[in-house]
Chain A
Amino acid sequence: MEGVMQTDAKMRTESGAESSPRGPGCSLRHFACEQNLLSRPDGSASFLQGDTSVLAGVYGPAEVKVSKEIFNKATLEVILRPKIGLPGVAEKSRERLIRNTCEAVVLGALHPRTSITVVLQVVSDAGSLLACCLNAACMALVDAGVPMRALFCGVTCALDSEGTLVLDPTAKQEKEARAILTFALDSVERKLLMSTTKGLYSDAELQQCLAAAQAASQHVFRFYRESLQRRYSKS
């Protein structure tokens, strides 16, 4: 299975290199994921993209505080904890982005008056942190068995000063970039769930980044599928 995948990928690069002058920037770093590694949460996952690593734990559907109770759907909460110091405004903003993405996908109406809590812990940040957080959250939600309309993934694109597109940038590439765009895409229609950007870019560049993110999302979803297939395999 893996052999087939690799040769397929190689063919793709060859064809891609021929038709496009683009350099080696357009590749995803190596991915790794481990699910169900914590005993207390209902679902947990550790997601690694290169040296960026995020640990996620999900509790839910569980009891909810009366003040936070919503009568016709589940209360979704996302907590993002930085590695050093206390959570600040940047973390709050990311929490909100992740929560909105999760709310779009999680079928909360099936569990009214409950709480679903996603706790994310940054383990190491080496670029594309938000995308990694989104991926970790998705894998943890899958592990917890929370019903979802579709899976989602996060992809970060960076545009450097010459307008070259870099997928899944490292911390160094992010620093040099003119613009950084992060998208969340769903697995069914490959449509946009969330987007957040930083820096200057043109109309056409946004569409280019989005198209590249959609292409990258196929790889991420294939990674999801294969890791879950491995998990639920009998051997």
Chain B
Amino acid sequence: MKETPLSNCERRFLLRAIEEKKRLDGRQTYDYRNIKITFGTDYGCCIVELGKTRVLGQVSCELVSPKLNRATEGILFFNLELSQMAAPAFEPGRQSDLLVKLNRLLERCLRNSKCIDTESLCVVAGEKVWQIRVDLHLLNHDGNIIDAASIAAIVALCHFRRPDVSVQGDEVTLYTPEERDPVPLSIHHMPICVSFAFFQQGTYLLVDPNEREERVMDGLLVIAMNKHREICTIQSSGGIMLLKDQVLRCSKIAGVKVLEITELIQKALENDQKVRKEGGKFGFAESIASQRITAFKMEKAPIDTSDVEEKAEEIIAEAEPPSEVFLNLLRVSKPVLWTPGTAQIGEGIENSWGDLEDSEKEEDDEGGSDEAIILDSIKMDTREVSNIGSQDAPIVLSDSEEEEMIILEPDKNPKKIRTQTISAKQEKAPSKKPVKKRKKKRAAN
């Protein structure tokens, strides 16, 4: 499905609103939409909502052999998917330019900033290291995917626990969560992306653009920063020229925003950990707002299955026994060995069609005679009709067949008619009559 195009008047309206320092959702220029973080029951699973934009993050791990040139480092892998659920224009299984750009930006933000200690992921140097895989699914697209995705990725990584491993000599032991508590990843800092949209060649600036604003913007500046105000990556796209002051101003704003978001993430993580420790309920089921009218919950429902056995017996007893024809089909046929090296089933077996054919023949005969009778009666009918027709309309008659004959015969094959026998001429003679009659009629009219 194609994206709905943005109309010119919509575009003008949005731009004029931005010029007047107004945003459609009532935010100020530097405001973020509200951010909500919820955790799933498994470790390393979270959903981040940035306004209406939603990203699902899941971290998983696997023991693999390391890269040849980095024998002592674990592997980090990021994969952002733009699901068709997020917007109808996203096609499944296609690497669009937007997707490639976002994935690369995420890698630069999280892998190249060395926020995760990859050396601690090494189990046996050169042989076994952990591969940490971060899957991010965009569930709803309402602008600013990169900010939501970077928050989801870092939250999922912070929340994740990998199974504990011990090495004794050459033996590597992997412990299940029941045996030993899984261990968290060691994270040095939390880089977070902040997006700035520019309008009218950089005259106007907005933080956290939504989908509509992204469509009318001229350029985008993404700054990834951690709470120590260290810039991890900067990307300017859209092809606008920015002044030094503008970039500096953006980095200052980013510093403030990152501080706020980091605080929120830490609070959310602490809260989840507290609930888990206390043995309370956690997971997505608890995070559904039950006061919402669109949400509904039902407690455990016991189901009476006492009569199931009786019912099943009844059904089996009531079921008709398989018919004889069906049983014949079920009869096991023996493999036939025609020549050495072959075995065959299904040909050369006694033909059971004989009985069927006989019965069919009888039916055919009956049917045939019936039809004959019916045909006779129809013929009778038609005769009667034709008789009536000839009696009633001798003057009005204008049979199309006759007309054709008249038109064709004199022009195309006059020779044939001459060579033909007299009977043809006799046939032709009456066919002229209706034409004459019609001429008379026309004259009368």
**Does B65 interact with chain A (Cβ within 8 Å)?**
no
Pair A83/B135 contact, Cβ less than 8 Å: yes
User: Beyond A31-B297, A53-B40, is A121–B303 a contact (Cβ under 8 Å)?
Assistant: no
Q: Is the CB of A20 within 8 A of B1?
A: no
Asked whether any CB of chain A lies closer than 8 Å to the CB of B87, the reply is: yes
A34 interface residue per 8 A CB criterion: yes
For the complex, is B296 an interface residue (Cβ under 8 Å from A)?
A: yes
Residues of A near B311 (CB, < 8 A) are 207-208, 211
Contact with A along B295-314 (1 / 0, CB 8 A): 11111111111111101110
DSSP majority for the A interface?
Answer: mixed
> How far does the alpha carbon of A22 sit from the alpha carbon of B302 in the complex, in Å?
12
- Chain B: minimal CB distance from A161 (Å): 18
Cross-chain contact B40 with A226 (CB below 8 angstroms) = no
Quick one: CB contact mask for A1-38 with B, threshold 8 Å, 1 for yes?
00000100100110110011010101111111111111
Measured between beta carbons, the chain A residues less than 8 angstroms from B288 are 32, 34, 46, 48
Per the bound structure, the CA–CA distance linking A12 and B83 in Å amounts to 43
Contacting pair A165 B135 (CB below 8 A): no
Q: A9-B302, A30-B285, A227-B296 are in contact. Are A119 and B87 (CB under 8 A)?
A: no
Q: Are B284 and A123 in contact (CB under 8 A)?
A: yes
Complex Cα gap A163–B408 (Å) = 86
Give the interface residue-count category, chain B: 35 or more
Closest residue of chain B to A65 (Cβ to Cβ) is B1
- Cβ of B416 < 8 Å from any Cβ of A? no
Bound-complex Cα distance A81 to B289 (A):
25
B2, A27: Cβ atoms under 8 Å? Answer: no
Is A212's CB under 8 angstroms from B303's CB? yes
| Pair A81/B83 contact, Cβ less than 8 Å | yes
A47 to B167, CA, bound (A): 42
Does A165 contact B305, Cβ atoms closer than 8 Å? yes
A160 at the A/B interface (Cβ < 8 Å)? no
A40 touches B87 (CB 8 A): yes
Q: Are B58 and A55 in contact (CB under 8 A)?
A: no
In the assembled complex, the CB of B307 is this many whole angstroms from the nearest CB of chain A, namely 8
Residue A67 lies at the interface, judged by CB distance under 8 Å to chain B: no
Find out whether the CB atom of B304 lies under 8 angstroms from the CB atom of A12. Answer: yes
Report whether B285 and A36 are in contact in the complex, using a CB–CB cutoff of 8 Å: no
Distance between B209 CB and nearest chain A CB, rounded to angstroms: 16
User: A204 contacts which of B84, B87, B316 (Cβ < 8 Å)?
Assistant: B316
Interface status of B141 (Cβ within 8 A of chain A): yes
Q: Which of B88, B296, B303, B306 has the most CB of A within 10 A?
A: B303
Determine if B300 and A34 form an interchain contact, defined as CB atoms under 8 angstroms apart: no
Alpha-carbon separation in the docked complex, A196 to B60 (Å): 29
Q: B5 — which chain A residues lie within 8 A by C-beta?
A: none
Q: Is the CB of B303 within 8 A of A27?
A: yes
Question: Which A residue's beta carbon lies closest to that of B211?
Answer: A40
Contact B41 A81 (CB under 8 A): no
Q: Is the CB of A212 within 8 A of B308?
A: yes
- Are B298's CB and A30's CB within 8 A? yes
Is B139 a contact of A34 with CB atoms below 8 Å? no
Known: A16-B302, A40-B87. A34 touches B1 (CB 8 A): no
Instruction: Specify which chain B residues have a CB less than 8 angstroms from the CB of A207 in the assembled complex.
Output: 311-313, 315-316
Contact indicator A40/B293 (Cβ below 8 Å): no
Residue of A nearest to B311 (CB): A211
- CB pair B285 A215 closer than 8 Å: no
A185 smallest CB distance to B (angstroms) = 14
Q: Which of B291-340 contact A (CB under 8 A)?
A: 292-309, 311-313, 315-316
A84 and B58 contact, Cβ closer than 8 Å, known pairs A32-B296, A40-B140, A223-B298: yes
Residue of A36, A46, A126, A203 contacting most chain B CB atoms (<10 Å): A46
Query: A50 — which chain B residues lie within 8 A by C-beta?
Result: 285
22 A–B contacts, CB within 8 A, in A order = A16-B305, A20-B306, A26-B304, A36-B294, A38-B52, A40-B88, A40-B141, A44-B85, A53-B284, A63-B2, A79-B92, A81-B83, A81-B85, A123-B284, A124-B40, A124-B284, A167-B305, A205-B312, A208-B311, A211-B312, A215-B303, A215-B308
Residues of A within 8 A of B (CB): 6, 9, 12-13, 15-16, 19-20, 22, 24, 26-41, 44, 46, 48, 50-51, 53, 55, 57, 59, 62-63, 79, 81, 83-85, 115, 117, 119, 121, 123-124, 126, 165, 167, 203-205, 207-208, 210-212, 215-216, 219, 223, 226-227, 230-231, 233
